[in-house]
């Protein structure tokens, strides 16, 4: 991941994985292919990703609890991403079902790619689409996804 981000500038970075927001800094991480990406590791990765100072426009952390926070990291890993040059971050407040995450992300990116909606509007519409499906109408499926930072 670090090699990919260092080699070129990306407007959107999407990490789909498993994650945990633990009670201490060592138990807060996102699983990557070959390591656990910690809060400090994520910030270093993002700071080093754009050596010329360009920001990542949108960092999506599609994993459990990536926007859950505490006094050491308000808004969790998503909030930490904003400190490290991401203009906006999309994260989750609690564990999410894989199918729900797939549906929200698919709807979000399809709407965003059309260029007609701001990020917040694209997320809202993707969440509403899930809400209208009887099998996904419970807030567990659509409500954990939040966008922080630049909502445009």
In this predicted model, what pLDDT tens digit does every residue of 15-42 receive, in sequence order?
999 988 777 777 788 888 888 888 888 8
Query: How far, in whole angstroms, is CA 11 from its chain's centroid?
Result: 14
**CA separation for the pair 122, 126 (Å, rounded):** 6
Q: Which residues contact 15 (CB under 8 A, 6 or more apart)?
A: 1, 30, 32, 37, 59, 60, 61, 62, 63
Q: What is the pLDDT along the chain (152 residues), one digit of tens a residue?
A: 766 676 677 889 999 999 887 777 777 888 888 888 888 888 888 887 766 667 889 999 998 888 877 766 667 788 888 888 899 999 999 999 999 999 999 999 999 999 999 999 999 999 999 999 999 999 999 999 999 999 98
pLDDT at position 51 is 61
Query: The domain containing residue 41 runs over which residues?
Result: 2-149
Q: Write b or e for each residue in 65-82: b if 16 or more Cβ atoms lie within 10 A of its Cβ, otherwise e.
A: bbbbbeeebebbbbbbbb
Average predicted confidence (pLDDT) for the chain: 88
- Helix/strand/coil (H, E, C) string of 70-101? ECCECCHHHHHHHHCCEEEEEEECCCCCHHHH
pLDDT at position 80 is 84
pLDDT at position 73 is 67
pLDDT at position 125 is 98
pLDDT at position 32 is 85
Query: How far, in whole angstroms, is CA 125 from its chain's centroid?
Result: 17
**CA separation for the pair 57, 49 (Å, rounded):** 12
pLDDT at position 47 is 82
Number of separate domains in the chain? 1
φ/ψ of 129, rounded to 5, equals -60, -40
């Amino acid at each position: 991941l670090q090699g990919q981000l260092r080699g070129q500038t990306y407007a959107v970075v999407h990490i789909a994985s498993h994650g945990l927001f633990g009670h201490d800094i060592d138990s807060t991480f996102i699983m990557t292919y070959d390591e656990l990406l910690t809060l400090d590791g994520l910030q270093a990765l993002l700071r080093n990703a754009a050596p010329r100072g360009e920001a990542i426009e949108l960092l999506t952390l599609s994993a459990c609890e990536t926007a859950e926070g505490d006094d050491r990291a308000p808004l969790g890993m998503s909030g930490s991403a904003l400190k490290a040059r991401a203009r906006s971050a999309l994260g989750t407040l609690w564990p999410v079902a894989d199918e729900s995450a797939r549906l929200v992300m698919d709807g979000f990116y399809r709407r965003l790619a059309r260029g007609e909606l701001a990020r917040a509007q694209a997320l809202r519409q993707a969440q509403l689409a899930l809400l209208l499906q009887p099998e996904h109408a419970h807030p567990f499926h659509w409500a954990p996804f939040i966008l922080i930072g630049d909502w445009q």
